[in-house]
Amino acid sequence: MAGNKVSGDKAVMEKIVALCKRRGFIFQSSEIYGGIGGFWDYGPLGTELKRNIKDAWWNDMVRNPPPGPDDREFQMVGVDCSIIMNPKVWEASGHVGGFSDPMVDCKSCKARFRVDQVFHVPLYRSGQDEPFAQLSVESDDAQSAIEAAQPKGTKLSKKHGGGDFDARPVCLTDYLEANPTGQANLSCPSCNELGTLTEPREFNLMFQTYVGAVQDDANIAYLRPETAQGIFANFKNVMDSTRVKIPFGIAQIGKAFRNEINPRNFTFRSREFEQMEIEFFCRPDEAKMWYEFWRDTRIKWYESLGIKSDKLRPREQEGDELAHYSDACTDIEYLFPFSEETQELEGVAHRGCYDLTQHGIHSKGKENAFAVIDNETKERFVPHVIEPSAGADRFTLATITEAYSYDENRASPEFMKFHPRLAPIKAAVFPLVAKDGMPEVATEIYNQIRAECPTYALQIDAKQSIGKRYARMDEAGTPYCFTIDGQTLEDNTVTVRDRDDASQIRIPKESVAKFLREKLGV
RNA sequence: GCGGGUGUAGCUCAGUGGUAGAGCGUCACGUUGCCAACGUGAAUGUCGUGAGUUCGAAUCUCAUCACCCGCUCCA
């Protein structure tokens, strides 16, 4: 069977990575200096591909969004915010407080813990001032730490003669503050070994920098870890300047930065990446409806761009997976060849009124600073937010792995079956041989397509054998090649070669641009 | 961050202490009559990087960087 898909195979992933480099889709950043972990560059073909993806998203979501549920109308507008913002933004969003947690590692069993979630638990006999033993547990608070300490504590108690005991948990945060050199007295909550925990270390995943020439704590700033906060911070500006009315959405495409501990899997987990985000603002009582609308819209969008296989898997998050402020979230996941498990391409989250409320509190000192008034019902409410947040680089990678096809019966076994709308090169024009006036006709046809389809990336090539030129276009994923041959000179027809099955038909040379537009549908 | 593996031409890899190699790709010229054709020729390497051992290191040692796999992490 032609177009045989290969999946769930790491060898395939390696072939894809090799093809990406060979054909100029993706290069490692700073490769000539030995590279740099978690950063990637797009080459000429990859740049066209990613641009087509971002354009498709912007056109389909912002300029020409689908009709809403029950054909309800809604507006979509765009913003393009700065990457560095006032650091208070990240206090309001929780990124500064929440993600700079000190961690400790166990040198013995290699487990890692958040310092504030480990409790040191000395065990006491009633009436005694010194503990007879101690242990550690992982827990959210002191009360559950006591419960968590019972099984281990009972065993320890038996060892020490048995009898009732009293567990008095101390959070590691507090313990280390009181005993800065107290590491040796602590045991690992996982393997129970004594004195194996490292000193606490900060793991802030935000990139830090300084605004202004003086490097001082007072002017620390961060590269944004998500584009969403720029949208929330401009919510009122957009309301005041554009006449949008609830329900409406604000969209943004832009770079974001996360200092991942361990970047992996080609471009999938990068430290610098591009997001395509929508924050959709609606009435609280309609939030569920809009959540479902966006979830379904986003799934259909991926399918419309060629991710039709069963590798695309939406997954509704379970209760304990959800952030505390979130009512619902669907991860739209894709099964990449590098993993047995599906990986997130996009999260569609029902965020309630959390973000606007937080920014209200932090910027204006009141929860409802960004409340709006419904003109018909006169109700006043802080809008609820549905957030479809997609990874542009992740979808680019999914597009590449989905398109990658292998058919050993073809002269060119590897070919990229891109959706025509996303294909980096839309068509190529070839003289069958570089003589008898064929190159001149090729140039004429090439110029004709350029004039009639000025947005298409095209190629013209007269060098080497025709088979080699077809093969190169197969690896670039070019849907159609037009070839000028001897018959063209007699009856003005050219052959059209189809990338997916290598079949050929003849069409009049005047109609190549029309043929392309109809076939590509772009 | 931990453990294991890998790193030699654009790609895939051979080379285990003694002159830097192959296939494919790329380029040029010739040829061409629809699928990586053929012929001739060419370019391309601080052998990931830096130290050390040695008369001599791609090869041995150490460090470091990057990538892959498994943990860990993933707002």
> pLDDT, tens digit, for every residue of A222-241?
999 999 999 999 999 999 99
Q: What is the mean pLDDT of residues A384-412?
A: 92
List the A504 CA – B34 C1' distance (angstroms).
9
- Least-confidence region, from A134-138, A201-205, A241-245, A456-460: A201-205
Q: Where do the domains of chain A lie, and which CATH numbers do they carry? A: 10-96+221-312+348-402 (3.30.930.10), 101-202 (no CATH), 425-520 (3.40.50.800)
Residues 471-500 of A with CB under 7 A from strand B: 471-472, 475, 483, 485-486, 489, 495, 497
Residue A114 has pLDDT above 90, yes or no: no
Which bases on strand B have an atom closer than 7 Å to a protein beta carbon? 1-2, 7, 10-12, 25-28, 31-38, 48-49, 65-75
Amino acid at A407: D
Q: Give the torsion sign (CA, A313, A314, A319, A321).
A: positive
Burial degree of A251 (CB within 10 A; 0-12, 13-18, 19+): buried
pLDDT for A100 beyond 60: no
Q: Which residues contact A357 (CB under 8 A, 6 or more apart)?
A: A367, A368, A370, A382
Task: Specify the nucleotide whose C1' lies closest to residue A412 (CA).
Answer: B36
CA-to-CA distance for A319 and A111, rounded, in angstroms? Answer: 26
Identify the pLDDT of residue A321. 73
Is nucleic acid strand B under 7 Å from A198's C-beta? no
Q: Tell me which H or E stretch contains A79.
A: none
Q: CA-to-CA distance for A470 and A480, rounded, in angstroms?
A: 9
Contact by Cβ (8 Å): A205, A99: yes
CB A367 within 8 A of CB A355: no
Q: Is pLDDT at A88 greater than 50 in this prediction? A: yes
| pLDDT for A1 | 29
Give A7's pLDDT tier (boundaries 50, 70, 90). very low
- Residue A267 has a pLDDT of 92
Q: Is the dihedral of CA A23, A26, A30, A31 positive or negative?
A: negative
According to DSSP, the residues that pair with A26 across neighbouring strands are A42
Distance CA A80, CA A231 (A): 9
Arithmetic mean of pLDDT, A292-298: 96
pLDDT greater than 80 at residue A185: no
Task: Tell me which long-range contacts A64-71 makes (C-beta under 8 A, separation of at least 24).
Answer: A65/A249, A66/A297, A66/A300, A68/A247, A68/A290, A68/A293, A69/A289, A69/A290, A69/A292, A69/A293
Question: Based on C-alpha coordinates, what's the Rg of chain A?
Answer: 29
Contact A5, A436 (CB under 8 A): no
A450 touches strand B (CB under 7 A): no
Q: Is A125 helix (H, G, I), strand (E, B) or coil?
A: coil
Closest CA to A45 of A517, A457, A421, A429: A457
A98: CB within 7 A of chain B nucleic strand? yes
In this prediction, residue A197 has a pLDDT band, given cuts at 50, 70 and 90, of confident
Q: For residue A159, what pLDDT is reported?
A: 85
State the pLDDT at residue A6. Answer: 39
Give the C-alpha separation, A170 to A119, whole Å. Answer: 5
Q: What is the pLDDT of residues A301-354, one digit of tens each?
A: 999 999 977 889 999 887 777 777 788 999 999 988 888 788 899 999 999 999
Q: How confident is the model at residue A109 (pLDDT cuts 50, 70, 90)?
A: low
Count CA within 13 A, CB hemisphere, residue A515: 22
Nearest-angstrom CA–CA distance, A387 and A346: 10
Q: Is residue A226 within 8 Å of A278, Cβ to Cβ?
A: no
**Spatial distance from the CA of A111 to the C1' of B71 (Å):** 9
Say yes or no: Cβ of A324 under 7 A from any atom of strand B: no
Look at residues A456, A393, A445, A390 and name the one whose alpha carbon lies nearest to residue A420. A456
For residue A187, the model assigns a pLDDT of 80
Q: pLDDT class for A149, splitting at 50, 70, 90?
A: confident
Please give the residue that has the higher pLDDT: either A183 or A499. A499
The β-bridge partners of A458 are: A427
The residues facing A133 across adjacent strands are: A123
Length of chain A, please?
A: 522
Is pLDDT above 90 for A403?
Answer: yes
pLDDT greater than 80 at residue A78: yes
The distance (Å) linking the CA of A335 with the C1' of B67 is 22
The Å distance, CA of A47 to C1' of B65, is 27
Average pLDDT over residues A51-61: 97
The interface predicted TM-score (ipTM) is 0.88
Q: Tens digits of per-residue pLDDT, A131-145?
A: 888 888 877 778 878
Mean pLDDT value across chain A: 88
Average pLDDT over residues A490-504: 94
Percent of chain A at pLDDT above 70?
93
Pull the structure tokens for residue A111. Answer: 């487990």
Pairwise pLDDT comparison (A78 vs A9), residue with the higher score:
A78
| Two structure tokens written together for A397 | 């990678």
Tokens of A256: 């974001």
Which residues 388-427 in chain A have a CB closer than 7 A to strand B? Answer: 410-414
Could you say which residues 263-282 of protein chain A have a Cβ atom less than 7 A away from any atom in strand B? 263-266, 269
Q: What pLDDT score does A68 carry? A: 95
Place of tokens 């393997």: A191
* Per-residue pLDDT, A381: 97
Q: Is the CB of A105 under 7 A from strand B?
A: yes
Q: Which nucleotide is nearest to A19 (CA to C1')?
A: B11
Residue A3 has pLDDT above 50, yes or no: no
Give the Å distances, CA to CA, from A105 to A108, A184, A195, A447.
9, 13, 11, 64
